[in-house]
């Protein structure tokens, strides 16, 4: 596998960034949903710090990823993809980039405007505040954070469903070329007892 | 313990006392524009807040400190620090516990003059606990007169921020109180 992207498949850097961000977003979203249920006492504040730290990590990786995408280019749709599908896919990809950047930014703004306590990234260094305490701004940033999350969930579902549809129904290379090992797509024999 | 004005006997006793003691020229009540604030920090992050409300009654004459008396009633519900999460935590049982103790009182009957003003050695009753708290203040006569004061309250003496919040490395024990009370002569 090459580092850079080729017309046939995503290179190692794009793949690593893609799947790393997938794992981090799953983790940060899980922690984010769980922490809303926790008592707001110092005993559990590390959970909030973990959520914020994971989010800032996503932000940093997404900036790297955006830079790499602009430098290394994308991979064109597999041959024969209808134009409308390519357009929807491309729009989804760029919206996902935008949301994966806007989510941590709105969270960071919410944290800053709340002004409750210092935010140390995984306890290692203190993150700068984007703004001083501002209750109005904190409320807006929190609303945005929640709304963007719902949008992100909707787009991730669309994106993943499309990838699985390509892989399982259309049986083309769309998903396989974002996977580390090249899967030779020999059609499996139809076996009614075997769940694919 | 301060007398409770909830029983008819207490009210009657108070009325008798009021009639017996002629109103003095140096009796004051709180005027609009007064403020009572506190400041502390969480993990180094400084924040300040205002109580839901407060009411001041003062008898004060710089020439007759032995006759002075200050009584402040502080409404804890509605305390605001500029963050709704923090405000609800403050109202909760770990801090003010406003469901049980909706107000605090400060009563001072011993006053002394110091270099830069006066000190009232009073008693703060907060969260069901009464402890001495000194109020340093300056006095500007007039109508309204102005009492401008500072005090330091050790929150843990009153059980404010116990349990998980007791760590003074996160929240210092000492909370700074500042007040500016405008005072009209009592009618």
Model pLDDT for residues B45-102, shown as the tens digit of each residue: 999 999 999 999 999 999 999 999 999 999 999 999 999 999 999 999 999 999 999 9
Give me the mean pLDDT over the B166-174 stretch. 97
Q: What is the pLDDT of residues B129-160, one digit of tens each?
A: 999 999 999 999 999 999 999 999 999 999 99
Chain B positions touching A138 (Cβ under 8 A) are 83
CB contact under 8 A, B83 and A138: yes
Taking the C-alpha atoms of residue B176 and residue B37, their distance in angstroms, rounded to an integer, is 8
- Spatial neighbors of B9 by CB under 8 A, at least 6 apart, are none
Percent of chain B with pLDDT over 90: 83
* B86:A116 CB<8 A: yes
Q: What is the pLDDT of residue B16?
A: 56
Q: What's the mean pLDDT in A133-157?
A: 97
- Where residue A3 falls among pLDDT bands split at 50, 70, 90? confident
- Chain-wide mean pLDDT for chain B? 91
Element holding B84 (H helix, E strand): helix B84-91
User: Averaged over A125-140, what is the pLDDT?
Assistant: 97
Give me the pLDDT at residue B38, please.
Answer: 98
Judging contacts by C-beta atoms under 8 Å, the chain B residues touching residue A43 are 164
Angle B136-B122-B182 from CA coordinates, rounded to 5°: 55
Using alpha carbons only, give the angle B32, B185, B31 rounded to the nearest 5 degrees. Answer: 5
Residue B13 has pLDDT above 80, yes or no: no
Alpha carbon A155 to its chain's center: 10
User: Which single residue is written with the structure tokens 């524009």?
Assistant: B33
The CA-to-CA distance between both ends of chain A, in Å, stands at: 27
Q: Residue A186 has what pLDDT?
A: 52
- Round the average pLDDT of chain A to a whole number and report it: 92
Give residue for tokens 């579902």: A157
Encoding tokens for residue A73? 């280019």
Please state the φ and ψ torsions of residue A162, each to the nearest 5 degrees.
Answer: -65, -40
The answer, yes or no, to whether residue B108 has pLDDT greater than 70, is: yes
- From the list B26, B16, B25, the residue with the least C-alpha distance to B70 is B26
Q: Using the predicted structure, report yes or no on whether residue B17 has a pLDDT greater than 70.
A: no
pLDDT of residue A182: 57
Helix runs in chain A, H state only: 12-35, 45-72, 83-114, 135-164
Q: What is the C-alpha to C-alpha distance for residues B80 and B99, in angstroms, rounded to an integer?
A: 16
Residue A94 pLDDT > 70, yes or no? yes
Q: What is the Cβ-side half-sphere exposure of residue B19, based on CA atoms within 13 angstroms? A: 5
For A65-79, A126-140, B18-32, B42-56, which range has the lowest pLDDT when averaged over its residues? B18-32
User: What does the pLDDT read at residue A4?
Assistant: 86
Q: Which residues of chain A neighbour B82 with C-beta distances below 8 Å?
A: 115, 133, 135
Q: Does B93 touch chain A (CB under 8 A)?
A: no
Whether the per-residue pLDDT at A191 is higher than 50: the answer is no
Query: How far does the CA of residue B75 sit from the closest CA of chain A (Å)?
Result: 22
In this structure, the number of other CB atoms found within 10 A of the CB of residue A192 comes to 5
Confidence of residue A57 (pLDDT cuts 50, 70, 90): very high
pLDDT at A196: 38
Looking at chain A, the whole-number percentage of residues with pLDDT higher than 90 is: 84
Compute the count of residue pairs across chains A and B with CB atoms less than 8 Å apart.
Answer: 37
Q: Does residue A12 sit at the B interface (CB-CB below 8 Å)? A: no
A2: confidence class by pLDDT, cuts 50, 70, 90:
confident
Question: What does DSSP assign to residue B115?
Answer: T
Q: What percent of chain B has pLDDT over 70?
A: 87
pLDDT tens across A59-85, in order? 999 999 999 999 999 999 998 899 999
Q: What is the per-residue pLDDT for B18?
A: 55
Percentage of the residues of chain A whose pLDDT score is greater than 70 = 92
- Dihedral of alpha carbons A168, A169, A172, A174, sign: negative
Structure confidence at residue A38 as a pLDDT band (50, 70, 90): very high
Asked if B74 and B54 touch (Cβ cutoff 8 Å), the reply is yes
Cβ–Cβ of B82/A133 closer than 8 Å? Answer: yes
């Amino acid at each position: 596998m090459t580092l850079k992207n080729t017309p046939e498949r995503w290179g190692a850097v794009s793949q690593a960034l893609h799947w790393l961000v997938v794992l981090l977003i799953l983790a940060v979203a899980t922690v984010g949903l769980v922490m809303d249920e926790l008592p707001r006492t110092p005993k559990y504040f590390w959970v909030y710090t973990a959520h914020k730290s994971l989010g800032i990590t996503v932000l940093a990786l997404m900036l790297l990823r955006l830079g790499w995408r602009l430098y290394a280019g994308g991979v064109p749709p597999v041959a024969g993809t209808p134009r409308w599908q390519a357009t929807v896919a491309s729009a989804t990809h760029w919206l996902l980039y935008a949301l994966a950047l806007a989510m941590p930014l709105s969270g960071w703004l919410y944290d800053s405007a709340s002004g409750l306590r210092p935010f140390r990234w995984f306890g290692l260094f203190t993150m700068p505040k984007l703004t001083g305490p501002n209750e109005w701004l904190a409320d807006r940033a929190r609303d945005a954070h929640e709304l963007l999350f719902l949008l992100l969930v909707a787009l991730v579902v669309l994106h993943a469903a499309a990838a699985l549809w390509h892989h399982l129904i259309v049986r083309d290379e769309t998903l396989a070329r974002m996977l580390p090992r090249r899967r030779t797509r020999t059609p499996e024999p139809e076996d009614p007892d075997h769940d694919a | 313990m301060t007398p409770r004005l909830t029983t008819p006997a207490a009210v009657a006793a108070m009325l008798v006392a009021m009639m017996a003691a002629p109103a003095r020229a140096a009796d004051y009540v709180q005027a609009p524009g007064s403020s009572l604030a506190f400041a502390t920090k969480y993990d180094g992050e400084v924040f300040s807040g205002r109580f839901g409300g407060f009411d001041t009654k003062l008898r004060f004459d710089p020439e007759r400190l032995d006759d002075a008396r200050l009584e402040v009633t502080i409404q804890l519900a509605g305390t605001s620090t500029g963050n709704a999460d923090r405000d609800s935590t403050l109202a909760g049982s770990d801090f003010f516990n406003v469901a049980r103790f909706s107000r605090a009182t400060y009563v001072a009957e011993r006053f002394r003059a110091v270099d830069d003003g006066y000190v009232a050695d009073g008693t703060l009753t907060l969260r069901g606990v009464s402890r001495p708290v000194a109020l340093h203040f300056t006095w500007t006569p007039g109508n309204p007169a102005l009492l401008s004061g500072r005090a330091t309250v050790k929150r843990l003496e009153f059980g404010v921020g116990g349990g998980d919040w007791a760590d003074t490395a996160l929240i210092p024990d000492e909370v700074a109180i500042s007040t500016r009370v405008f005072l009209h002569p009592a009618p």
